[in-house]
Structure 1
Amino acid sequence: MTLRATVRGVGHYLPERVVPNAEFEATLDTSDEWIRTRSGIERRHFAAEDEFTSDLGAKAAQAALENADLEPDDIDAIIVATSTPDRTFPSSATMVQHKIGMTRGFAFDIQAVCAGFVFALSTANGLILSGQAKRVLVIGSETFSRILDMTDRSTCVLFGDGAGALILEASEEDGTTGDRGILGVDLNSDGQHREMLYVDGGMVTGQTGHVVMQGNALFRQAVEKLASTANAALENAGLGHGDVDWIVPHQANIRIIQGTAKKLGMSMDKVVLTVQDHGNTSAASIPLALSVGVERGQIERGDLVVTEAIGGGLAWGSVVLRW
């Protein structure tokens, strides 16, 4: 028998405020058609003034716990992937821990920008396989609306707020490629490309700062690196393209998603798409799409799912798991 980190539950949360593309037309030289054509985004959600990353994460966590039929103290660890924490410290994960009423275990954040959830899944997998935790609540939660320059049409129309959560638990499987759970992982980073996507703030300026992005350069990096990491994770799992039921990509831009699927030689019919409704929710993107994919009836037990993401750093990676 082989120990695997298997999916026990999934959930998500989106703020009430929906921001359609048309809302930007009043303040920017842009249009609904321009945004849709270049990104595939039609609308996104923005958090309320009194709503923060830990609030979104806690609501997604509660949804995942309900889906898994578990109580907060059934969880051993919480990992929150975010680039927009409530505070510099303590971690948003500890705030989520308190808000959901979890009184045991441990909690911490991971920061790998849009690739954060993939890095968090890999870390949770390691905790489970090493015996340090039996159940890990992995959350991607972001309030990117707070770090957007609303006068920069190249960035502010692309991002949104939201949270998704996945509960992984230890399970004894057969040790074959047919096992449920995480079967393959590939993680990468390259700091030489850090200027392609960053926030122009932090300790170096003493200000929060805003998102700065070199869109065309990042696009060229993204398609190649996303296809490469998906292939590497599949190879690590001993699987191939023909075994894949669903690709659940980082929902940044429809053209990147289409380009990656084409490079992998896979049909868009096998891709879970939510970018049109949520925009780029950074680390929340993949867990949101996983939860929505389950809710729609697309992802079912036994399906082989490939997740892949790239974000500032640059950091990129992929996880292959059987649902």
Structure 2
Amino acid sequence: MTDVRLMVKAPAKINLTLDVLYKRPDGYHEIEMVMTTIDLADRLTIEPRRENKITLDCSACYLPLDERNHVYQAAKLVKERFHVDEGVHIYIDKQIPIAAGLAGGSSDAAAAIRGLNKLWDLNMSVEEMAELGSHIGSDVSFCVYGGTAVARGRGERIERLPSPPSCWVILAKPPIGVSTAEVYGALRMDRLTERGKSQQMIEAIWHRDFPGICRSLGNHLESVTLVKYPDVCVIKDRMSRFGADGVLMSGSGPTVFALTDKESRVNRIYNGLRGFCKEVYVVRLAGENQW
């Protein structure tokens, strides 16, 4: 057993678009969404252990450390797929809020796959790692790639995009958790009034058109979450009122983000939220591709 310790970064993502196209025969929804990573990240420390077991530890006491954890699932899947007869211990330094629509668990799983690929000399390509990740969760494939991309199908078909223009991102998460499965289960396709925005967003990104990116923000799941959780609606209104160039809920929520390319507006938006919402973060887009 080699005495190796790997540190792997697991960045959060935001959805610039989330278009739900139709319900598939297998019960999943066909989606098309544009995602990009932001400068808010968990960090995994991965090291071998003598006993042939997977063990986890985490800075957040509320996360399960067994088969319910996406990192455990990723390590188990890699071990089984490649018949690895070695143990591993993974420590998760948790900075991304959970159940927030920011793919924290998915990004951790993707980081575990990337780290174990290196630790165990498995020589998987990024495409092979993304395929493996698709068995764990819909966002894991994107998180393996990182950067900026459009995801289709259930989220497993990835087409990489150039990074958007740099800007500030103000995130606000109300003190609630949202179940992605429940949101999709409550979605009424016949009541969607807004057309999908992904193709418009892709064009704006290719042209590095920041105002066009802000105009192209769209998320069909808002039709469920904003009704069920009015606080999310209040956050969106406050962000717009305090000068955000674009505002959207990420994923199934409840986190809402504001985009602005003007530093003078950042503090105004941040301070306008602090009295209403405890979890507020100011970060930058980090949507550079890793590969």
TM-score above 0.5, yes or no: no
Higher helix share: 1
Relative to the length of structure 2, the TM-score reads 0.28
